[in-house]
């Protein structure tokens, strides 16, 4: 899909909920990429190494917002959707080990980010999703608002499997909608009330058709996802963050073999690599907040500065001193 123009149009019909906007942004930091989701409580942790490149293409009209997200690294996404919105995602590319709230997800899965109060999405290296965000109260007609409200109230699993033809049809519809909205902006085509309602209705009914036939429930996480969650909880505070697998096993009262198997099953990653990746992400956020390299590294248990600097560069594509200097320049 070609990038969308990096601009925003004016409101064309006299109300903020009817405004059309079109934008394209690129990112080299996962925290900046997460901020593309307006109003979400969202945190990204880079798991695979190398300089991150991401982008988002956004179009919105009325109560519908479409955001195409490109990510080129394994990312652990954790967060929450505003309670008054529906948020689902359809993969355009999704190849690798993916988990949504602990459930296996794939190319023909509908990802329902608003299905639970909080979500966790473990996305693979090849990741392009069309995120569909719906604000029921901002839709053009009362009928559409009622349908969207009923969808928001329905209890569904975070991952809804789709038949290949259904998934392909939904992908095609969303691509066509993105092109139509971006094309209308470029040509100056006005957004009449009828056009707004048609686009909203088309997308809403397509999503409704998939969700309405899905069995009710909260889904079933992979058997070992609870172990990953327990580890993740330990890694958020430097006072409880383990510095080794041996220490982690003692904290959780499990064997190294159990831990290794759980991580392989849940996220296809060695727990030692995961532990190191999360701690390095914490250091990067400290540096971006203005902390010194020495203080940030030691706070998260990195005492051998040569090895730390090498691990940091392998993970993020630059030395920690470069991150710190760039942050200092940006604050001048």
Query: Taking the model in full, what pTM does it have?
Result: 0.86
Instruction: Indicate if the pLDDT at residue 258 is higher than 70.
Output: yes
CATH of 225-331, one of 3.90.1200.10, 2.60.120.10, 3.40.50.300, 1.10.10.60: 1.10.10.60
pLDDT for 140 equals 85
Question: Which residue, 63, 216, 201, 100, is CA-closest to 154?
Answer: 216
**Residue 4 pLDDT greater than 70, yes or no:** no
CA angle centred on 119, ends 203 and 93, rounded to 5°: 55
pLDDT digits (tens, 9 = 90+) for 200-210: 889 999 999 99
B/e letters for 109-134, b = 16+ CB within 10 Å, e = fewer, are bbbbbbbbeebbbbbbbbbbbbbbbb
| Per-residue pLDDT tens over the stretch 266-314 | 888 899 999 999 999 999 999 999 999 999 999 999 999 999 999 999 9
The number of C-alpha atoms within 13 Å of 138 and in the hemisphere containing its C-beta is 19
- Asked whether residue 154 carries a pLDDT value surpassing 50, the answer given is yes
Among the listed residues 289, 284, 260, 287, the one whose alpha carbon sits nearest the alpha carbon of residue 272: 260
| 328 has a pLDDT exceeding 60 | yes
Tokens encoding 316: 């993020």
Domain 16-212 and domain 225-331, same fold? Reply is: no
Domain boundaries, the chain: 16-212, 225-331
Q: How confident is the model at residue 330 (pLDDT cuts 50, 70, 90)?
A: low
What per-residue confidence (pLDDT) applies to 251? 92
**Taking residues 78-96, what's their average pLDDT?**
94
How many C-beta neighbours within 10 Å does residue 16 have? 8
**Measured CA distances, 257 to 168, 220, 264, 271 (Å):** 41, 24, 11, 11
Residues 139, 205 contacting (CB under 8 angstroms): no
Closest CA to 110 of 125, 132, 134: 132
* Mean pLDDT confidence for 131-155: 90
Name the architecture of domain 16-212: Sandwich (2.60)
């Amino acid at each position: 899909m070609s990038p969308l123009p990096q601009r925003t149009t004016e409101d064309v019909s006299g109300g903020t909920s009817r405004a059309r906007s079109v934008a394209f942004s690129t990112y080299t930091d996962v925290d900046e990429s997460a901020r593309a989701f307006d109003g979400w409580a969202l945190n990204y942790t880079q798991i695979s190494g190398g300089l991150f490149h991401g982008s988002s293409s956004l179009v919105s009209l009325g109560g519908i917002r479409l955001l195409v997200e490109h990510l080129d690294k394994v990312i652990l996404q954790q967060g929450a959707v505003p309670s008054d919105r529906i948020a689902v995602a359809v993969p355009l590319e999704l190849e690798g080990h993916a988990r949504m709230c602990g459930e296996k997800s794939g190319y023909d899965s509908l990802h329902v980010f608003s299905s639970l109060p909080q979500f966790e999405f473990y996305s693979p290296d090849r990741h392009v999703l069309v995120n569909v965000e719906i604000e029921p109260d901002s839709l053009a007609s009362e009928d559409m608002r009622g349908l969207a409200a009923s969808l928001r109230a329905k209890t569904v699993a975070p991952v809804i499997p789709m038949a290949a033809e259904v998934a392909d049809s939904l992908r095609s519809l969303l691509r066509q909608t993105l092109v139509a909205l971006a094309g209308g902006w470029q040509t100056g085509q006005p957004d009449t009330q009828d056009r707004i309602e048609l686009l909203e209705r088309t997308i809403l009914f397509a999503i409704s058709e998939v969700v309405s036939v899905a069995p009710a429930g909260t889904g079933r996480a992979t058997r070992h996802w609870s172990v990953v969650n327990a580890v993740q909880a330990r890694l958020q505070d430097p006072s409880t963050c383990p510095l080794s697998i041996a220490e982690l096993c003692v904290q959780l009262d499990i064997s190294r073999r159990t831990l290794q198997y759980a991580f392989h099953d849940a996220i296809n990653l060695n727990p030692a690599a995961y532990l190191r990746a999360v701690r390095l992400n914490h250091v990067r956020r400290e540096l971006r907040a203005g902390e010194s390299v020495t203080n940030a590294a030691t706070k998260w248990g990195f005492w051998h500065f040569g090895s730390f600097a090498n691990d940091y560069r392998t993970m993020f594509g630059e030395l920690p001193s470069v991150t710190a200097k760039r942050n200092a320049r940006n604050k001048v």
